[in-house]
C-alpha cells in the first residue's frame, strides 16, 4: 500500500496556506490511511524527487506492542534492493512519529488492468510473472519470505515495471522454528497455500510460490482459480487444488500452473525449476540490481526512548500567504493516470476477489453544492460529515465488521466548472464501503456527470 501513487504531480493542495516539512521532505496530500499508519505524497526538496512517506504514531506502535513488527518490516526492506521491489530510501523519527521514506510508484495496481480490461494476453502475463518471480526469488535468497502476495501488493511504475510492495507480514529466516518451518497463519484466503491453512508449519518459499501461481492464473484467466463465498468451501477447494484452467491457456502454461498449484508442498515445483521452465524462459531478461543497505543503526535510533538521539527530526509547518480557499486542481495527465479500473460495477457483476478501496465521479455543479449534496445524502444513512475546506470525513455511527466505516472525500478541480470527487475508504470494511457508495450515488444522481470508467471520456481542457 505504501507507494500506490495515482499521479506524479498532484500531491499539492493549491489552496493551502502552509506546508509541512520533515527534514528535507515537503509533505503533500494523503495517499492512503490505515489503523496504524498514514501514507503521504512528499517531495525531496534537495533532489526534487517524489517519494511516499509512511507515517506511524509511536504511541500506537508501543501500545499495541508492534515495535518488533515495524523493525522487521524496515530491516526486511533494507535487505532488499531489487528493480521489482519497492525501495526503502531512509527511516527517520520525531519524538512522536516514525517516518519510512519509500519509492513513489505512479502506475497503480497491476490488477487494475484486469478489473478494467479483463484478462491479459499470455505474453503480457508472462512478462509480469517473470518480474514477480525475479523479485520473490531474490527475496528468498536473502532469507525473506513475503507471505502475503496478492493483487494489492503488485504495483506498476510509470514504465510499466512491476514492483512488489508491503513487507508488513514478511518473515525473516530467523523466525523459522527448529522444524525448519514457519508457523504464523497469514495472507489473503484466495491466494494462500493449503499448508498455511493447515497451521502445522510451512516452508515460506513454497507458500510464496503457490501465491505466485494463483496470481499467474488470474492474470491469464481474469478470475480466481479458487473462489467460494463460504470460507470452509473455499478452503476445501484449495486443499484439493480443485480448479480448471480455461481453454485459452496454452498447454505449456497449463502444465506450469498445475505444477505450481500442487497441494502437496513436497511435490510442488521450486522457484529455481520455474525459472528453468520452457514457458517461463520465453523472452526472459534476468534482472540487474544494486547491493542492499545492511546498516541498521537508524532502525535502533527511531525507537530510542530517551529521545536524545541525534537522528530525531522535527515536523514543522512553513507558512505561505493564504489565497482564497479553492479546491485542489488536477491537470489532464493526472486525470488520465487516475482513471484505470474505477468502475465499481465490474466488481459486483464479476467477483474476482479484487477489493477496490476508492472511487471517483465528476460533476458540473459548484464545489460548495457538491459538498452540501454529499452531506444531505450521507446523513439519512447514519453518517456524520466533517468538512475542512474542500475535504470531507464521512464516518458511520454504527460499528461494522471492522469497526466504524470512515470515508475520506476530496473535491478536485479538473477544469473550469468541472470537478472530480474522490472517495476513499480510510477505515472499516471494503464491502461496506461498496454498499455505502452505491447508496450514496443514488442520492447524488442529480449532480453526478460522469462516474468510474466514464471519466476517461472527459475532454482534457
Evaluate whether residue 313 is within a structural domain.
Answer: no
Catalytic residue among 112, 137, 148, 157: 148
| Number of structural domains found in the chain | 3
Which DSSP string corresponds to 46-79?
TT--EEEEEEEEHHHHHHTT-HHHHHHHHHHHHH
Question: Which residue bears the cell 475542512?
Answer: 388
Q: Are residues 122 and 246 in the same domain?
A: yes
Is 314 among the domain residues? no
SS3 state of residue 344 = coil
In a domain, 300, yes or no: no
- Between strands 50-57 and 25-33, the pairing is unpaired
Cα distances (Å, whole numbers) of residue 22 to 44, 97, 317, 366: 10, 11, 9, 35
Residue 296 lies in a domain: no
* pLDDT one digit per residue (tens) for the chain, 461 residues: 444 444 434 454 444 445 788 889 999 888 777 666 788 889 999 998 999 888 888 887 777 777 776 776 677 677 778 889 888 888 888 888 888 888 888 887 888 778 777 889 999 999 999 999 999 998 888 777 777 788 777 888 888 899 988 654 343 333 333 444 333 444 468 888 888 887 667 678 898 999 999 999 999 999 999 988 888 898 899 999 999 999 999 999 999 999 999 999 999 999 999 999 999 999 998 887 666 555 555 555 555 554 444 456 666 665 555 455 666 655 444 444 444 333 333 323 333 334 467 788 888 888 889 999 999 999 888 899 988 878 888 998 887 766 788 898 988 887 777 888 888 887 777 778 888 888 898 889 888 887 654 544 444 33
Q: State whether 130 and 269 are in the same domain.
A: yes
Q: Please say if 304 is a catalytic residue.
A: no
In 150-274, where do the E strands start and end? 154-156, 162-164, 171-172
Beta strands in 343-451 (DSSP E): 358-363, 383-388, 391-400, 403-415, 418-427, 450-451
CA atoms of 31 and 29, how far apart (whole Å): 6
Reported as half-sphere exposure (CB side, CA atoms, 13 A), residue 437 has a value of: 30
- Give the CATH number, domain containing residue 411: 3.30.310.80
**All cell numbers assigned to 115:** 478489473
Q: Are residues 31 and 115 in the same domain?
A: no
Neighbours of 372 (CB within 10 A): 14
Q: Give the predicted TM-score (pTM) of the model.
A: 0.61
**Domain holding 24: CATH number?**
3.30.200.20
Chosen domain end from 68, 83, 106 = 106
Co-location of 179 and 229 in the same domain: yes
C-alpha cell at 156: 506498476
Same domain, 98 and 149: no
In a domain, 323, yes or no: no
Query: Alpha-carbon distance 211 to 271, whole Å?
Result: 12
Taking the C-alpha atoms of residue 305 and residue 297, their distance in angstroms, rounded to an integer, is 15
CATH number for the domain that contains residue 123: 1.10.510.10
| End-of-domain residue from the set 106, 126, 153 | 106
* Structural domain boundaries, residue 356: 328-455
In a shared domain, residues 183 and 265: yes
pLDDT digits (tens, 9 = 90+) for 150-169: 877 788 888 889 998 865 43
Q: Is 71 annotated as contributing to ligand binding?
A: no
Same domain (yes/no): 224, 358: no
Looking at the fold, whether 118 and 262 belong to one and the same domain comes out as: yes
Question: Do 153 and 262 lie in a common domain?
Answer: yes
Residues 369 and 260 placed together within one structural domain of the fold: no
Long-range contact list for 331-336, CB < 8 A, 24+ apart?
A: 331/9, 331/10, 331/460, 332/460, 332/461, 333/7, 333/8, 333/9, 334/6, 334/7, 334/8, 334/9, 334/10, 335/414, 335/420, 335/455, 335/458, 335/460, 336/456, 336/460
- Between CA 367 and CA 149 the distance in angstroms is 40
Same domain, 100 and 137: no
Residues 84 and 172 occupy one common structural domain: no
CA distance 20 to 409: 21
pLDDT in tens, 287-329: 876 665 555 555 555 555 544 444 566 666 655 554 556 666 5
Map grid coordinates 479484487 to a residue.
354
Amino acid at each position: 500500500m505504501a507507494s500506490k501513487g495515482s499521479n506524479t504531480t498532484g500531491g499539492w493542495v493549491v489552496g493551502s496556506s502552509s506546508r509541512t516539512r520533515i527534514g528535507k521532505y515537503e509533505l503533500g496530500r494523503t495517499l492512503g490511511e490505515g489503523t496504524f499508519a498514514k501514507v503521504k505524497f512528499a517531495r525531496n526538496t534537495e533532489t526534487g524527487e517524489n517519494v511516499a512517506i509512511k507515517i506511524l504514531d509511536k504511541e500506537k506502535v508501543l501500545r499495541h506492542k508492534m515495535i518488533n513488527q515495524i523493525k522487521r518490516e524496515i530491516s526486511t526492506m533494507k535487505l532488499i534492493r531489487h528493480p521489482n521491489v519497492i525501495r526503502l530510501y531512509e527511516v527517520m523519527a520525531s519524538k512522536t512519529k516514525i517516518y519510512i521514506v519509500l519509492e513513489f510508484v505512479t502506475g497503480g495496481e497491476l490488477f487494475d488492468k484486469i478489473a478494467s480490461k479483463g484478462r491479459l494476453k499470455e505474453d503480457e502475463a508472462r512478462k509480469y510473472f517473470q518480474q514477480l518471480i525475479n523479485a520473490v526469488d531474490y527475496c528468498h535468497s536473502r532469507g525473506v519470505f513475503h507471505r502475503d502476495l496478492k493483487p494489492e501488493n503488485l504495483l506498476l511504475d510509470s514504465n510499466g515495471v512491476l514492483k512488489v510492495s508491503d513487507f508488513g507480514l514478511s518473515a525473516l529466516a530467523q523466525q523459522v522454528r527448529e522444524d525448519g518451518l514457519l508457523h504464523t497463519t497469514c495472507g489473503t484466503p484466495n491466494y494462500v497455500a493449503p499448508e498455511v491453512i493447515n497451521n502445522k508449519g510451512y516452508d515460506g518459499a513454497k507458500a510464496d510460490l503457490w501465491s505466485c501461481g494463483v496470481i499467474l492464473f488470474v492474470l491469464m484467466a481474469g478470475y480466481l482459480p479458487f473462489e467460494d463465498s463460504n470460507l470452509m468451501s473455499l478452503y476445501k477447494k484449495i486443499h484439493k487444488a480443485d480448479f480448471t484452467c480455461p481453454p485459452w491457456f496454452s498447454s505449456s502454461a497449463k502444465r506450469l500452473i498445475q505444477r505450481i498449484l500442487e497441494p502437496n508442498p513436497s511435490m510442488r515445483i521450486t522457484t529455481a525449476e520455474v525459472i528453468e521452465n520452457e514457458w517461463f524462459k520465453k523472452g526472459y531478461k534476468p534482472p540487474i540490481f544494486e547491493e542492499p543497505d545492511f546498516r541498521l543503526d537508524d532502525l535502533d535510533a527511531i525507537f530510542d526512548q530517551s529521545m536524545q538521539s541525534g537522528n530525531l527530526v522535527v515536523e514543522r509547518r512553513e507558512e505561505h500567504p493564504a489565497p482564497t480557499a479553492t479546491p485542489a486542481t488536477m491537470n489532464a495527465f493526472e486525470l488520465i493516470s487516475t482513471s484505470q479500473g474505477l468502475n465499481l460495477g465490474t466488481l459486483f457483476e464479476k467477483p474476482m476477489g479484487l477489493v477496490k478501496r476508492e472511487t471517483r465521479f465528476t460533476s458540473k455543479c459548484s464545489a460548495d453544492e457538491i459538498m452540501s449534496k454529499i452531506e444531505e445524502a450521507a446523513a439519512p444513512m447514519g453518517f456524520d460529515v466533517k468538512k475542512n475546506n474542500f475535504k470531507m470525513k464521512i464516518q458511520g455511527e454504527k460499528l461494522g465488521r471492522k469497526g466504524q466505516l470512515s470515508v475520506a472525500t476530496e473535491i478536485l478541480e479538473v477544469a473550469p466548472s468541472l470537478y472530480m470527487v474522490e472517495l476513499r475508504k480510510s477505515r472499516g470494511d471494503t464491502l461496506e464501503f461498496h454498499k455505502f457508495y452505491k447508496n450514496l450515488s443514488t442520492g447524488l444522481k442529480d449532480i453526478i456527470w460522469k462516474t468510474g470508467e466514464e471519466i476517461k471520456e472527459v475532454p482534457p481542457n
